[in-house]
Amino acid sequence: MNKTLIIFAFALALAVFLGLRFRKSGDRAESVETFPLTKTDAQWKEELSPQAYQVLRQHSTERPNTSPLNKVKEPGDFVCVGCGNLLFKTEHKFDSGTGWPSFYQPATQDAVGSSTDYKLVYPRTEIHCARCGGHLGHVFDDGPQPTGKRYCINGVCLEFQPEE
């Protein structure tokens, strides 16, 4: 085996090890970070749909192109399905072609928080609700102007409230 292949195999094994280590629920930012709204796991399970619970509380991801919110274009607000916190507005929504509702900015600067996610071995910026800590999705640097950001959000985490 040549030296380059050995180094590559070692780096890959290390990345997988670190990725698996950070996937453990005890290592998530939400386990040490406190939020204004806290509930027990049993309360979340009782109040949320099974799919919303899996995404918001267990950091799962809904299948692409399954959210009816992908097609929403009318003026209104997108709030957290777990706590009602205003997260995004239709005026900041765009079609990213990814299969998930996408926004170029949150409704306010303090609507969402972020942490580093190592689930796919490499680091990504995970987005969570600033009020309840629920996992929403991720933010990437390939969105439209004026921010250049793409907040790729699981639709099951959101409730749309049309403008009156």
Residue 48 φ/ψ, nearest 5 degrees: -100, 155
Q: CA nearest 24: which of 159, 144, 140, 119?
A: 119
CA distance 75 to 63: 25
To the query of whether residue 152 is one of the catalytic residues in this protein, the response is: yes
State the number of CA atoms in the 13 A half-sphere of 30 facing the CB. 27
**DSSP assigned state of 63:** P
Catalytic hit among 80, 83, 152, 157: 152
Q: Could you list the active site residues?
A: 152
